[in-house]
């Protein structure tokens, strides 16, 4: 077969545009003819296809049923939902605890200020009692 025709067929083969007859022609050419060096890589390709065509896989393939995968996915989704709800509950509890702690600190600060002011008022009232007692003694 003409070399230019083979090169065109190889180009069509690489672009996936060949027919079955074209591929048969290529296989025959690369199997029987002396191949030029620039097409040698395609000779290896076609000889590989010819050699591996008769290979078979002899081991058994263990397939899992779809039901098994569905039940696994079902249980995983249930577990994920429970973990999500548990996480939300724990997060909410931690948030409430944080808010309660913040409120406790604010109330404690307010009560300390009130206590400080009441002590000032107590000192002022005691000085007024002292003044009143002194005035009563003077009047008598």
Give the Cα separation of 27 and 18 in Å (integer).
12
- Tens of pLDDT, residue by residue over 87-123, are 999 999 999 999 999 999 999 999 999 988 888 888 8
Q: Give 83 or 41, the one with higher predicted confidence.
A: 83
pLDDT per position as a tens digit, 119-138: 888 887 778 778 788 888 88
Q: What pLDDT was estimated at residue 133?
A: 80
At residue 5, the pLDDT reads 83
Which three-class secondary structure state does DSSP give residue 64? Answer: coil
Largest pairwise CA distance in the chain: 148
**73-101 core/surface letters (b: 16 or more CB in 10 A; e: else):** eeeeeeeeeeeeeeeeeeeeeeeeeeeee
117-133 burial code (b ≥16 CB/10 A, e <16): eeeeeeeeeeeeeeeee
């Amino acid at each position: 077969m003409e070399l230019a025709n083979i090169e065109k067929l190889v180009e069509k083969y690489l672009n996936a545009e060949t027919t079955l007859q074209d591929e048969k022609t290529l296989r025959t050419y690369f199997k029987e003819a002396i191949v030029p060096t620039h097409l040698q890589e395609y000779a290896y390709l076609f000889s590989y296809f010819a050699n591996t065509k008769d290979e078979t896989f002899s081991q058994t393939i263990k397939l899992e049923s779809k039901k098994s995968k569905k039940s696994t996915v079902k249980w995983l989704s249930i577990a994920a939902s429970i973990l999500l709800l548990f996480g939300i509950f724990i997060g909410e509890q931690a948030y409430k605890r944080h808010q309660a702690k913040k409120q406790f600190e604010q109330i404690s600060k307010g009560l300390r200020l009130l206590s400080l002011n009441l002590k000032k008022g107590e000192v002022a009232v005691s000085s007024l009692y002292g003044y009143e007692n002194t005035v009563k003694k003077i009047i008598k």
